[in-house]
């Protein structure tokens, strides 16, 4: 899966790190996705990603709405969400809910936020 | 004292790199992140100026001078290693005579997160430090991607140039294209004539009037050659001022003679470059595919070459057929 490759392949370590800047745990990371398009534009001004919107249904249930504009983007996001859950050590269940008003909806069920150890994230690892 | 404790609690939340000093400059309280930078040295009880050295303004070496810096931006360093640079701001406390000194990394943050293994929990929630670190990494990643793309494009460009069939200066075919065409004609057993044309006095134009004039002359000469040949003929620039023209299905000596004469007479007309007269001429040697048994590319090129040198020996500005050379095979 594309999204999983983007985050978990060693040659893509840089991208994993950038996503980890989103938050110290998986829930914070999920909330940071609201700003993902803006963050990306900050780095590469002409790269426009579809807007993501996280809905918190409960502390365990979330929905991520992917705005239209980039076909297949929601499938990539499912892969990214799955790989990042491993990265944070969270246990989640993901499913594609289909479309709601043109937006693709991904449902995220957070079973356990500290299920496994997760991968270490060192803020200063890149410079030096 | 409860006032001080409340203040310390407040500061701990808002600015984890604060120091509370008394009127003697002695540290009373230290924020957790600041303390994390010196795990072996309890900051409380130390003199501020014993731990930190002021870089700017240099003149501040005493506690009263420090206290008078209210609101001004300070640049300081640890006295001991690692000598991380910090920015600071002094806010005097009127009642106690002490001050709150808030510190921050400024640009040294990149080294600091590495040297002290800081995490996002070490920064206040409103601090832009994490965003700054994110931005540095994101920009480096984007720059790296762009650099590797550039390298790839450069490689592709070099490869394309190597495979190119066109001489970029004149727009004619290049040596590679000519070799290819020649090989194709030979493999299909076509009959053709191969003309080797050399510009006379070109070097003197180049030396006298410069490369721009030389380039102009080459472009004019190329245009003339294209105008005096048919679309299906191959006109190639194979060296500095050397050209090869291949005439497919044309092996009549008199026709080739008249084409060559026309080429020479047009090339001999003076060309004007920026009001300067550029006078050149051309010598031409021609060989026919029909003159060789078991034709090889090198043979016919050599034949045309020999004819060209005969034309040069005969005083330039003329055309010689390989078949008319005294030692030519026929």
DSSP B113-165: HHHTT--GGGS-TT-SHHHHHHHHHHHHHHHHHHHHHHHHHHHHHHHHHHH--
Contacts of residue B118 in chain A, CB cutoff 8 Å? Answer: 123-124
Q: What is the DSSP letter of A85?
A: H
At B90 the three-state DSSP class reads strand
Question: Is the CB of B136 less than 8 angstroms away from the CB of A43?
Answer: no
Complex ipTM tops 0.90 = no
Distance CA A45, CA A24 (A): 26
**Chain B residues near residue A88 by CB distance under 8 angstroms:** none
**Selection from B274, B273, B267, B258 nearest residue B319 by Cα:** B258
Domains along chain A? 2-112 (3.90.1520.10)
Query: Interhelix angle for B253-268 vs B211-227, to 10°?
Result: 150
Indicate yes or no: CB of B121 within 8 angstroms of CB of A24: yes
Contact present, A23 and A14 (Cβ < 8 Å): no
CA B304, B305, B306, B312 torsion-angle sign = positive
How many CA atoms, within 13 angstroms, populate the side-chain half-sphere of residue B189? Answer: 2
The residue count for chain B: 330
A vs B, Cβ pairs < 8 A, gives: 54
Yes or no, beta carbons of A15 and B141 under 8 Å apart: yes
Question: Could you identify the residue written with the tokens 């969270």?
Answer: A90
Contacts 24+ apart (CB under 8 A), B78-83: B78/B37, B78/B38, B78/B51, B78/B52, B78/B53, B79/B50, B79/B51, B79/B52, B79/B53, B82/B111, B82/B115
Report pLDDT for B330: 41
Reported confidence tier of residue B1, pLDDT bands at 50, 70, 90: low
pLDDT of the residue at B329: 46
Total residues found in chain A within this entry: 128
Return left, alpha or beta for B230; rule: phi > 0 is left, psi -120 to 50 is alpha, else beta. Answer: beta
pLDDT, greater one: B201 or A10: B201
pTM: 0.63
A127: confidence class by pLDDT, cuts 50, 70, 90: very low
Active site residue B241: yes
Cβ–Cβ under 8 Å, residues B206 and B215: no
**Out of B119, B133, B142, closest to residue A44 by CB:** B142
Model confidence pLDDT, tens digit, residues B136-168:
989 988 898 889 999 999 888 888 877 788 998
Tell whether A128 is within 8 A of chain B (Cβ).
Answer: yes
Contact yes or no for B107/B25 (Cβ under 8 A): no
DSSP string over B101-123: EEEE-GGGHHHHHHHTT--GGGS
Considering only CB atoms, B114 lies closest to which of A15, A44, A127, namely A127
In the numeric block, the tokens 């963050």 are attached to A39
Write out pLDDT tens, residues B190-240. 999 999 999 999 999 999 999 999 999 999 999 999 999 999 999 999 999
User: Among A14, A21, A122, whose Cβ lies nearest the Cβ of B130?
Assistant: A21
- Give me the residues paired with residue B76 across strands: B54, B86
Residue with tokens 């990603």: A49
B125 and A CB contact within 8 Å = no
- CA dist., res. B165 & res. B163, Å (int): 7
CA distance A57 to A27: 13
Question: Does A123 contact B119 at a Cβ distance shorter than 8 Å?
Answer: yes
Average pLDDT of span B99-103: 95
């Amino acid at each position: 899966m594309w999204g999983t490759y983007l985050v978990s392949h060693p040659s893509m370590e840089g991208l994993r790190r950038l996503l980890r800047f989103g938050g110290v745990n998986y829930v914070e990371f999920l909330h940071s996705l609201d700003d993902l398009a803006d963050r990306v534009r900050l780095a590469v001004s002409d790269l426009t990603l579809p807007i993501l919107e996280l809905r918190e249904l409960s502390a365990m249930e979330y929905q991520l709405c992917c705005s239209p504009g980039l076909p297949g983007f929601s499938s990539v996001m499912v892969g990214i969400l799955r790989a990042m859950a491993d990265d944070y050590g969270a246990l989640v269940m993901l499913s594609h809910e289909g479309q709601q008003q043109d937006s693709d909806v991904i449902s995220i069920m957070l079973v356990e936020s500290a299920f496994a150890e997760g991968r270490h994230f060192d803020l200063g690892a890149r410079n030096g | 004292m409860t006032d001080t404790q409340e203040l310390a609690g407040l500061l701990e939340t808002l600015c984890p790199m604060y120091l509370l000093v008394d009127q003697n400059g002695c540290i009373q309280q230290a924020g957790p992140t600041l303390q994390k930078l010196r795990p072996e040295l309890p900051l409380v009880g130390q003199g501020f100026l014993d731990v930190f050295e002021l870089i700017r303004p240099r003149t501040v070496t005493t506690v009263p001078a420090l206290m008078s810096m209210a609101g001004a931006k300070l640049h300081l360093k640890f006295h001991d290693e690692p000598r991380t640079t910090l920015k600071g701001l002094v806010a005097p406390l009127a009642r106690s005579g002490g001050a709150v000194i808030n510190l921050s990394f400024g640009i040294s943050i990149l080294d600091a997160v590495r040297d002290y293994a800081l995490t996002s929990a070490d920064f206040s929630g409103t601090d832009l430090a994490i965003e700054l670190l994110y931005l540095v990494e994101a920009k480096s990643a984007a720059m790296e991607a762009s650099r590797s793309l550039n390298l790839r494009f450069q490689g592709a460009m070099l490869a394309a140039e190597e495979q190119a069939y066109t001489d970029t200066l004149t727009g004619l075919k290049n040596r590679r294209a000519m070799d290819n065409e020649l090989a194709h004609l030979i493999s299909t057993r076509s009959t053709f004539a191969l003309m080797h044309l050399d510009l006379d006095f070109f070097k003197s134009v180049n030396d006298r009037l410069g490369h721009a004039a030389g380039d102009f002359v080459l472009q004019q000469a190329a245009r003339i050659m294209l105008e005096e040949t048919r679309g299906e003929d191959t006109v190639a620039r194979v060296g500095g001022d050397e050209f090869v023209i291949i005439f497919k299905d044309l092996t009549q000596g008199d026709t080739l003679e008249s084409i060559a004469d026309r080429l020479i007479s047009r090339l001999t007309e003076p060309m004007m470059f920026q009001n300067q007269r550029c006078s050149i001429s051309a010598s031409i040697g021609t060989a026919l595919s029909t003159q060789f048994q078991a034709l090889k590319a090198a043979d016919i090129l050599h034949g045309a070459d020999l004819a060209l040198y005969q034309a040069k020996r005969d005083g330039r500005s003329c055309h010689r057929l390989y078949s008319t050379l005294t030692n030519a095979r026929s």
